[in-house]
Amino acid sequence: AAPGRGNKGMAPFEPIAPTPADVDDLVVPEGYSWAPVISWGDPVEAGAPDFDVNNQTVESQKMQAGYNADYLAIHRGGAGNNGANKGLIIFNNEYTNPEVMFPGYDPVAGPTAEQAAIEMAAHGMTIVEVERQGQFSPWAYDRHGARNRRIHAWTQFHVDGPAGGAEWMKTSADPTGHMVLGTLNNCAGGETPWGTSLSGEENFNQYFNATGADDAQGKLKRYGITSAGRGWERAEDRFMVLTEPNEVNRFGWIVEVDPEDPTSMPVKHTALGRFKHEGATIRLAADGRAVAYMGDDERFDYIYKFVSRDTYVEGDKAHNMTLLSEGDLYVAKFEGDGLGDGEWDGVGTWIALVKDGASMVPGMSVAEVLTWTRMAADKMGPTKMDRPEDVQPNPHTGAVYVALTNNTRRTPAQIDEANPRASNKFGHVIEWVEAGNDAAALAFTWRIVLIAGVPSDPSTYFNGYDRSLVSPISCPDNVAFDEDPDHLWISTDGAPGTIGTCDGMFLMPTAGPDKGKVQQFLSVPTGAECCGPVVEWADRSILICVQHPGEDGHSAYPYLGDSVPRPGVAHVYRTAR
Ligand code: FEO
Ligand code: CA
Ligand code: CA
Ligand code: CA
């Protein structure tokens, strides 16, 4: 089936050619156009000033769109004035590039206290109402939307689950251990069936300075917390581990936000464990329990899943928002069946870390397992993966896909059938199906569907498709699905440094005659990674995040005449039938 299958009268797209890494443009296929929806610094909350790169303040940044967006979702449900042409978007703001955002920034000295505080205000999430004038026009945001909201480094988060209130969660500012200010380094995420958004706190280690801190048990080291830091302790001493040793334990969680209610307090769910959370995506089990799939994005780290104790109740949002507060936590083990069958495939098992409210890990309590989840998993023999990024179930079929972005440190002695390439520069994608296709099952079958790279490289694999007919692709990061059950979309982060092209977004059908035919749909400007794709293919509508344009070199994105690039959300749409 052609990509246009099921959408009568709409043309499939003509794949774009690979874009050289220095091209400063958002390249879309013939017949499509694009427009920025919202960019860093655009006013979001009531009273926010217009963006002015030369007059950045903490107070204005708290009310303006945050920096580098990764996860993105569109909501049309809820109580607002929604419909086909109205809704809201939520996107997170993973990190900042101070050397790009502040004119005259001194990279040797690092940020001033005020610059660090502006960076704190530019982290978190942004929620804005959007509308469009019909199918062949772009989404635009409403700076006066009633549900517009910024979540930043001083927004209050409730900490729930078994590790909430633990001794090591208490700080001088929060003697309860249940109230954290801010969320940091939110990478990918997912929508829940009950209308909220999940987002993962990923590389939270970088904000903390561990100079002089005691690490006898290796807990800081296992999470990459060093003396490097980003200078944020100049703004607030909670980022100095020696001064406030427990603050670092309050980051590295999955957060849940209700974007429909701008007065709601977001939650950090400790039941889903603490690691460098890429994101979390939900599928309901056969018995109605909520299952969250999660990756820990580090070389040689693991894939996890959480299974809620309680079950989903259609229409009861308040109840459903408690589902991620209590449940079982598992980590994945992949076993190959040998390469004699010509496939990288086999069976897998979910190893319990927490089950029925009890710890399955010798010498660790439930709360300890959830807080130092990496160290708990290390004891249980899961498979060390090539940087697990986005993990998402196909909502139509239940098959689960994980993007393993790369791992150049894997040696030939360390390869296994699920991570089969030494010095894996280009990454791969694994598909698995749970036993009985039940998300709560404890066993699964798996196979590799993509081994990325330039197709002339014999180590690449495109699910059996003819290599000479596909687009080069490197460093898969986010995966997404649309209305077509066979459509797997992959966006990338790392192509410039590995195959010399701009990052972008690709379609790779998972079934049918085009199975494995990787076709590039778009590319993002130089230095940027392509994130958060939201594909509404029946409308040929694609929302993306253009993250860190100009990170290496210069970009003028979104080409509105500013002296610095402004990361943000773009809409790609078809200009005519
Ligand atoms: Fe923020 Fe794992 O990428
Ligand atoms: Ca095999
Ligand atoms: Ca990512
Ligand atoms: Ca990435």
Residue 9: per-residue pLDDT: 42
Q: Is residue 516 very low, low, confident or very high in pLDDT (cuts 50, 70, 90)?
A: very high
**Ligand nearest the Cα atom of residue 340:** 2
In the predicted structure, residue 11 carries a pLDDT above the cut 60? no
Ligand 3 centroid distance, CA of 120 (Å): 20
Residue 576: per-residue pLDDT: 81
Q: Is residue 83 very low, low, confident or very high in pLDDT (cuts 50, 70, 90)?
A: low
**Does 236 sit in the ligand 1 pocket, CB within 6 Å?**
no
Whole-model pTM: value is 0.96
Q: Is residue 78 very low, low, confident or very high in pLDDT (cuts 50, 70, 90)?
A: low
Q: How many CB atoms lie within 10 A of CB 339?
A: 11
**CB within 8 Å of 2: residues ≥ 6 apart:** 12, 514
Q: Which amino acid is at 282?
A: I
**Does 482 sit in the ligand 1 pocket, CB within 6 Å?**
no
Residues 320 and 325: their CA atoms lie apart, in Å, by 10
Ligand 1: residue whose CA is nearest its atom 3:
187
Q: What is the mean pLDDT of residues 207-226?
A: 97
**Does 278 sit in the ligand 1 pocket, CB within 6 Å?**
yes
Residue 358 CB burial class (10 angstroms; 0-12, 13-18, ≥19): exposed
First to last CA, the chain: 20
Vertex 369: Cα angle to 364 and 375 (nearest 5):
90
Half-sphere CA count of 189, side-chain side, radius 13 A: 31
**Does 187 sit in the ligand 1 pocket, CB within 6 Å?**
yes
Tracing tokens 């995420």 back to the chain, one arrives at: 189
Ligand 2 centroid distance, CA of 447 (Å): 8
Ligand 1 centroid distance, CA of 201 (Å): 10
Strand, helix or coil for residue 142? strand
Are 435 and 400 in contact, with CB atoms under 8 Å apart?
no
Residues 50 and 103: their CA atoms lie apart, in Å, by 17
**Does 202 sit in the ligand 1 pocket, CB within 6 Å?**
yes
Residue 368: per-residue pLDDT: 98
- Ligand 1 nearest atom to the CA of residue 276, by list position: 2
Could you give the ipTM of this predicted complex?
Answer: 0.95
Are 149 and 259 in contact, with CB atoms under 8 Å apart?
yes
CB under 5 Å of ion ligand 4: residues:
477, 493
Q: What is the DSSP letter of 375?
A: H
- How far apart, in Å, are the Cα atoms of 116 and each of 121, 156, 239, 276, 404? 9, 19, 11, 22, 32
Strand, helix or coil for residue 239? helix
In the predicted structure, residue 19 carries a pLDDT above the cut 60? yes
Residue 135: per-residue pLDDT: 86
Residues 85 and 72: their CA atoms lie apart, in Å, by 17
Ligand 1 centroid distance, CA of 49 (Å): 31
**Does 389 sit in the ligand 1 pocket, CB within 6 Å?**
yes
Residues 124 and 116: their CA atoms lie apart, in Å, by 14
pLDDT in tens, 457-501: 999 999 999 999 999 999 999 999 999 999 999 999 999 999 999
Residues 81 and 88: their CA atoms lie apart, in Å, by 10
Residue 134: per-residue pLDDT: 87
Within its chain, how far is the Cα of 88 from the centroid?
19
Ligand 2 centroid distance, CA of 534 (Å): 33
Query: Which of these, 113, 135, 129, lies nearest to 10 by C-alpha position?
Result: 135
**Ligand nearest the Cα atom of residue 478:** 3
Alpha helices (runs of H) in 261-336, residue ranges in sequence order? 317-320
Residue 543 CB burial class (10 angstroms; 0-12, 13-18, ≥19): buried
Burial readout 406-439 (b: 16 or more C-beta within 10 A, e: otherwise): bbeebeeeeeebbbbbeebbbbbbbbbbbeeebb
pLDDT in tens, 242-271: 999 999 999 999 999 999 999 999 999 999
- Ligand 1 nearest atom to the CA of residue 203, by list position: 1
- Ligand 1 nearest atom to the CA of residue 387, by list position: 2
- Ligand 1 nearest atom to the CA of residue 405, by list position: 2
Q: What is the mean pLDDT of residues 276-289?
A: 98
**Does 386 sit in the ligand 1 pocket, CB within 6 Å?**
no
- Ligand 1 nearest atom to the CA of residue 297, by list position: 2
**Ligand nearest the Cα atom of residue 337:** 2
Ligand 4 centroid distance, CA of 477 (Å): 6
Q: What is the DSSP letter of 454?
A: -
Q: How many CB atoms lie within 10 A of CB 76?
A: 13
Residue 6: per-residue pLDDT: 42
Are 113 and 234 in contact, with CB atoms under 8 Å apart?
yes
Q: What is the mean pLDDT of residues 177-192?
A: 98
Query: Which of these, 391, 326, 381, lies nearest to 355 by C-alpha position?
Result: 326
**Does 201 sit in the ligand 1 pocket, CB within 6 Å?**
no
**Does 296 sit in the ligand 1 pocket, CB within 6 Å?**
no
| Dihedral sign of CA atoms 179, 98, 477, 375 in order | negative
Residues 333 and 325: their CA atoms lie apart, in Å, by 25
- Ligand 1 nearest atom to the CA of residue 278, by list position: 2
**Does 58 sit in the ligand 1 pocket, CB within 6 Å?**
no
- Ligand 1 nearest atom to the CA of residue 70, by list position: 1
Ligand 1: residue whose CA is nearest its atom 1:
187
Q: How many CB atoms lie within 10 A of CB 443?
A: 11
Question: Please, what is the average pLDDT of the chain?
Answer: 96
CB under 5 Å of ion ligand 3: residues:
187, 389, 477
**Does 297 sit in the ligand 1 pocket, CB within 6 Å?**
yes
- How far apart, in Å, are the Cα atoms of 546 and each of 36, 38, 222, 441? 9, 11, 31, 37
Q: What is the mean pLDDT of residues 314-318?
A: 97
Q: Which amino acid is at 454?
A: V
- Ligand 1 nearest atom to the CA of residue 188, by list position: 1
Ligand 3 centroid distance, CA of 493 (Å): 7
Tracing tokens 């393993």 back to the chain, one arrives at: 404
Ligand 4 centroid distance, CA of 479 (Å): 12
What is the number of residues in the chain?
Answer: 577
The pair phi, psi for residue 525, each rounded to 5°, is -60, 165
**CB within 8 Å of 175: residues ≥ 6 apart:** none
Ligand 4 centroid distance, CA of 388 (Å): 10
Query: Which of these, 315, 316, 306, 186, lies nearest to 256 by C-alpha position?
Result: 186
Within its chain, how far is the Cα of 556 from the centroid?
25
Ligand 3 centroid distance, CA of 55 (Å): 31
Residue 2: per-residue pLDDT: 40
In the predicted structure, residue 298 carries a pLDDT above the cut 70? yes
In the predicted structure, residue 3 carries a pLDDT above the cut 80? no
Tokens of 496: 């410039």
Residue 82: per-residue pLDDT: 57
Tokens of 120: 């704190």
Q: What is the DSSP letter of 372?
A: S
**Ligand nearest the Cα atom of residue 339:** 2
Vertex 300: Cα angle to 429 and 250 (nearest 5):
105
- Ligand 1 nearest atom to the CA of residue 187, by list position: 1
Beta strands in 6-85 (DSSP E): 32-39, 69-75
Are 208 and 227 in contact, with CB atoms under 8 Å apart?
no
Residues 153 and 523: their CA atoms lie apart, in Å, by 31
Half-sphere CA count of 386, side-chain side, radius 13 A: 33
Within its chain, how far is the Cα of 327 from the centroid?
22
